[in-house]
Structure 1
Amino acid sequence: MAEPRAFLSFDFDHNEVSRNLFAGQAKKDSPTPFILEDWSSKRVLPEAEWERLIATKIAGCHLMIVLVGKSMSTAYGVAAEISMAKDKHVPSFGVYVDGAGSSSTLPNGLARNRTISWNWVDIAAAVDQMLTEGKNA
């Protein structure tokens, strides 16, 4: 398989800086290479159109990485993206960002035991695991 494609889900209102840092570091620091594309919508769309667009983009990926910040309880879009990934059998895991940790609220659909700290060795291991699950199995 060529480098796997990862959909990066994040709370645009609270974690955009972490998304930028994560995406930049993924290119040079991850022991397991994977491709992060900028899948975000470039403009505000009606909800149904946004859902169709994002569901199509998620379906074209091998895995989803969810950046879990402290404000996940208000991140409707993140929970919707996790649900879309489950529907498309795209495996996912979370990475704590912006001071979030094991006591932080997780978005609906993301398991605590699939959410890890921002450590590239652990992230690479999680990417490798995702490549044996869901639609990748």
Structure 2
Amino acid sequence: MANPRAFISFDFDNNSGEKMYFSGQSVNSRTPFSIEDWSSKTALAQSTWQQIIEDKMKKCNMMIVLVGKNMSTATGVNKEIQMAIKNNVPFFGVYVDGADSSSTLPVGLARNRTISWTWEGIASAISQMMKEGKNL
């Protein structure tokens, strides 16, 4: 069976570096998932961005939300969470960039579904998402 595909949601303005680091580390971890880098590389009209992102998300088994310290300003992340809910794509959060359990979470992401960045914890969360969710 192929590894499950994960859509990565992150604050483009504040956590692009953490997203690149997370994606790079995942290749060398023993965590059973593959990341599809479907981030928009250019500015798009809002309706175009929403349709493209939603179409890409539908092709994934789950979404991983990288939760940084500036989530209150990450409107794109909030929209991606709503798309995941609408399309029954399970998701969880991973704290990055010094964020922790006292940091603001994006709307729709539960505190008990947001974990510290350890590959063991991420593997466990992925296993849980696959039990709950969308198997393509």
Per-residue deviation, 1:10:
0.3
Asked if the contact 1:32/1:128 (under 8 Å) is kept, the reply is no
Residues 13-41 of structure 1: CA deviation (Å, up to 9, x unaligned): 10011001100011111x33211011111
**Sequence identity percentage:** 61
Query: For residues 2 and 90 of structure 1, what CA distance do their matches in structure 2 show?
Result: 18
Asked if the contact 1:6/1:34 (under 8 Å) is kept, the reply is yes
Cα-Cα RMSD: 1.2
Query: For residues 110 and 134 of structure 1, what CA distance do their matches in structure 2 show?
Result: 16
1:19 counterpart = 2:3: no
1:94 counterpart = 2:93: yes
What secondary structure does 2:131 align onto? Answer: coil
Matched residues, number: 136
Aligned counterpart, 2:33:
34
Q: Which portions of structure 1, spanning 4 or more consecutive aligned residues, are displaced by more than 3 angstroms? A: none
Query: For residues 64 and 35 of structure 1, what CA distance do their matches in structure 2 show?
Result: 11
Per-residue deviation, 1:2:
1.2
1:4 alignment partner AA = P
Query: For residues 62 and 134 of structure 1, what CA distance do their matches in structure 2 show?
Result: 7
Query: For residues 91 and 8 of structure 1, what CA distance do their matches in structure 2 show?
Result: 12
- Kindly report which structure 2 residues correspond to 1:27-66, keeping only aligned pairs within 5 A, or say none: 27-29=27-29, 31-66=30-65
TM-score scaled by length of structure 2: 0.97
Residues 80-125 of structure 1: CA deviation (Å, up to 9, x unaligned): 0011011110000000000000000000010000000000000000
Asked if the contact 1:27/1:33 (under 8 Å) is kept, the reply is no
TM-score scaled by length of structure 1: 0.96
Aligned counterpart, 1:125:
124
2:51 alignment partner AA = R
Aligned counterpart, 1:105:
104
